[in-house]
Amino acid sequence: MNMVAPRSSLRIRLLAGTLVWITASIIVAGWGLRSLFQQHVEAQFHAELKTHLDQLTAQLTLDSRGHASLALPLSDPRLSRPYSGCYWQIDQTHDGMPPETGVLRSRSLWDHVLATPPDTPADGEIHQHRIIGPEGKMLGMVERSVRIDDTPDGKPRSFRLIAAADESLMTEPVGRFSGALWLALGVLGGGLVVAALVQVFIGLAPLRKLHTALGKVQSGEMQHLDGDFPAEIMPLVDQFNAVLVQNAKVVERARTQAGNLAHALKTPLSVLSNAALAPDARDSALSRLVIDQVGTARRQLDYHLARAQAAATALIPGTRTPLSPIIDGLVRTMRHIHADRQLALTVMPVSPSLAFRGEPQDLQEMLGNLLDNACKWAAHQVEISARREGGNLRILIDDDGTGLAAEQREAVIQRGVRADEQVPGSGLGLAIVDDLARLYGGRVELADSPLGGLRAVLILPVAQ
């Protein structure tokens, strides 16, 4: 599987951006909601302590001897259960002297006395502190100073009223809420990620469809992009189809101009050739020179004309040529041309799906030259086979002739070089084949044949 850089993948960029925003939103929302709930719980915690403190203030009385007592017990039952986490305490203060701590205490304190900070709140003022309580637990505390002037013995007295509670009564609900909150936000985030994946998958589906259509155009299954695309993509599809049409027109004009040029040059060449073959000039040195040069010019014209036509179509998408019909037609032609030699031309089974990504004329030109060479050099047998290897066609043409030495194989592919001057030919056949194959991104290779002669391997791009 190919690794795709994030910046080069639209899918990854969209998903990365979405995931970043989802994660940031979940974190901010979780932090905000937890903070709000924590503030609410803290406010409720201190409000309850102040309620206890108000009740203490309201129920505080003095007996006939001036000792502090409560007219009625406080309403919260936790204050009567030892170490329940809710406590109250009353200290008596004296001007310039240490306070008497724990003159009255809730039953929940049992034998513990709360140690309060050494501050002196103004009469009626409420202070908040954190102190160590029973069993070493941290308590949240509120205190208030109360002065009673109307006493039985006429001596004013001052008291410090304390209400405290275990901070776990505040932190535990926040912890439980945080766990449930992050679980819920995690589920929500997972749902949003799935939704983002579905959205990106559906949103980019037309691009995958466009990619498939382009592949069909490139492989030759379609001549232009066809399909129902969204309005945002249709202008691109229309412009691409317009480019395909324009390229086809350019190729057609190039072919027409190349053909016109060939006909324009062949006519004067024919005139020169006929003039050189006239009875009064047939045996002269000038006549032989003209005939030789006219033949060379025709061969060069055919070579460059074929090369120009292939160059015009090699990179045009939408061209597809089935291999089997071309091979069968060429084999029938070769059997007719070389009928006097009684050659056995064998075609190994070729898959009907195999196709060349290019023009039929170019495939006929390349295979025709290779088959003709094989038939010229073969003793009795020529064998043709083809298969697909990766993204290429591999066409093998074997003969049982004399073959070629390894040092000659590169040379004979060069333009104008012939392996044997005794065999008819121009020396351009293999050069044309090699040039055409390279224009399509392929090549020609020569090797030893299992039949004893030469094997020509034609490698060309395959149509999907």
Q: Is residue 53 part of a domain?
A: no
If residue 52 lies in a helix (H) or strand (E), which one and from where to where?
Answer: helix 10-59
Smallest CA-to-CA distance from 350 within 330, 366, 370, 374 is with 330
Q: What is the pLDDT of residue 410?
A: 79
**306 and 427 belong to one structural domain:** no
**278 and 354 belong to one structural domain:** no
Q: Is residue 432 part of a domain?
A: yes
**310 and 324 belong to one structural domain:** no
Q: What is the C-alpha R_g of the chain?
A: 51
Among 170, 194, 218, the domain-final residue is 170
Residue position matching structure tokens 């044309």 = 432
**328 and 435 belong to one structural domain:** yes
Mean pLDDT value across residues 40-45: 93
pTM of the model: 0.52
Q: For residue 204, report the phi and psi dihedrals to the nearest 5 degrees.
A: -95, 0
**72 and 118 belong to one structural domain:** yes
Q: Is residue 203 part of a domain?
A: no
Q: Is residue 235 part of a domain?
A: no
**302 and 334 belong to one structural domain:** no
Smallest CA-to-CA distance from 346 within 376, 374, 305 is with 374
**387 and 457 belong to one structural domain:** yes
Q: Is residue 294 part of a domain?
A: yes
Percent of the chain surpassing pLDDT 90:
27
Structure tokens at 240: 């691409």
Mean pLDDT value across residues 66-95: 86
**333 and 454 belong to one structural domain:** yes
Give yes or no for residue 462 having a pLDDT over 50: yes
Local confidence band at 186 (pLDDT 50, 70, 90 cut-offs): very high
Among 315, 347, 375, the domain-final residue is 315
Q: For residue 461, report the phi and psi dihedrals to the nearest 5 degrees.
A: -70, 140
Q: Is residue 111 part of a domain?
A: yes
**293 and 358 belong to one structural domain:** no
Please list, in sequence order, all residues whose beta carbon lies within 8 angstroms of the beta carbon of residue 97, skipping any fewer than 6 positions away: none
Q: Is residue 49 part of a domain?
A: no
Q: 115, 133 in Cβ contact below 8 A?
A: no
**354 and 439 belong to one structural domain:** yes
Dist CA 44 CA 336 (whole Å): 106
The domain in which residue 410 lies consists of 320-461
Give yes or no for residue 449 having a pLDDT over 60: yes
Structure tokens at 129: 């502190």
Q: Crossing angle for the helix pair 285-313 and 360-377, nearest 10 degrees?
A: 130
Q: How many domains does the chain have?
A: 3
- Domain holding 327: CATH number? 3.30.565.10
**308 and 357 belong to one structural domain:** no
Among 268, 284, 315, the domain-final residue is 315
How far apart, in Å, do the first and last CA atoms of the chain sit? 20
If residue 280 lies in a helix (H) or strand (E), which one and from where to where?
Answer: none
Which of the pair, 287 or 135, is modelled with greater confidence? 135
Q: For residue 52, report the phi and psi dihedrals to the nearest 5 degrees.
A: -60, -40
Name the CA dihedral angle for 245, 246, 251, 254, rounded to a multiple of 10 degrees: 150
**426 and 338 belong to one structural domain:** yes
Amino acid (one-letter) located at 416? G
